[in-house]
Structure 1
Amino acid sequence: MTRSLMVPPADPASAAAHFRAKLAFHTDVSDVAADLTAGGDPGFVLVDSRSTAAWDQGHIPGAVHLPTALIPEQAAALLDPAVPVITYCWGPGCDGATRAALALAERGYRVKEMLGGFEYWVREGFAYETWEGDGRRAADPLTAPLTTADCGC
């Protein structure tokens, strides 16, 4: 037996339930970018859970700055409990967005985490803001298609 199949795949119904549940907790930068640029209300608020220094270094346009440590005292003033929240932090090597999502969920917010965080937002070529002004880098060919905005997945 191969290493990949030492534990056999789940039956299709269990796999479907698992992947459906996984998507209830996560979204990705491409989907968030598409929703934010489509015009109108995206149906969620995007929360940057990083420090002020990190926010100033670069953040997603339209995001609300709410560092994780300040969620207990500031969430109610900044967020409507009826509107879903999507959290992000630096990137896949950081649990900041997960901690922020947990803190918000414990306070009654419906919340998802944006996989890839600010790192993949920038790597996929989406616009960002800094304390110095707007920025945008070319898409990294290892993270996003170079010829279209839609990767097809």
Structure 2
Amino acid sequence: MPENSTSFVMTNLQGNLKKILGDLYGLRTWVEYGFRQCKQELGWTDYRLTNFQHIERWWEIIFCVYTMISLNSPAFLTLNQSLQIETEVTGTSCANCVDFSHHQQWNHDSGWKNTLNNLRLIVQPLLLFWLIYPWLDIFPNSHLLLGFNHLICAMNQFKPFFASG
């Protein structure tokens, strides 16, 4: 822009707006910085989002993942374990439960990245099944289908914590 140019901002806010607009516009820098940091943490730095709908969809995904991770954090899992103890006392314990933490890539450390990695491991069999499913029309394999069915049934036993009311 030329040195003596002016830019205008249109708003529906009332009153003396110089400070308010300056502060609000200054927040933009921090929002962009936070957005960049989130993308970097998730390994998405190569993706550029400029369309509002795409940015909005991206934040929906982020908040869904954040909710899934939060509900599987130690604080919520402690609540879930106390509920499981109550059900075991009443005699409705699970006889065929699978301990997912025996997976060789399971991360036993605490932190959101570790929880996200563990949730990815739980979802992985279903995703892999749907990736290979079209090939089963070309190369039918009933044993593979049966194996996937058994694996997905076992994975469906995962009991995440969901708050009830």
Q: TM-score with structure 2 length normalisation?
A: 0.29
| Structure showing greater Rg | 2
Structure whose residues are more often strand by fraction: 1
Q: TM-score with structure 1 length normalisation?
A: 0.31
Structure whose residues are more often helix by fraction: 2
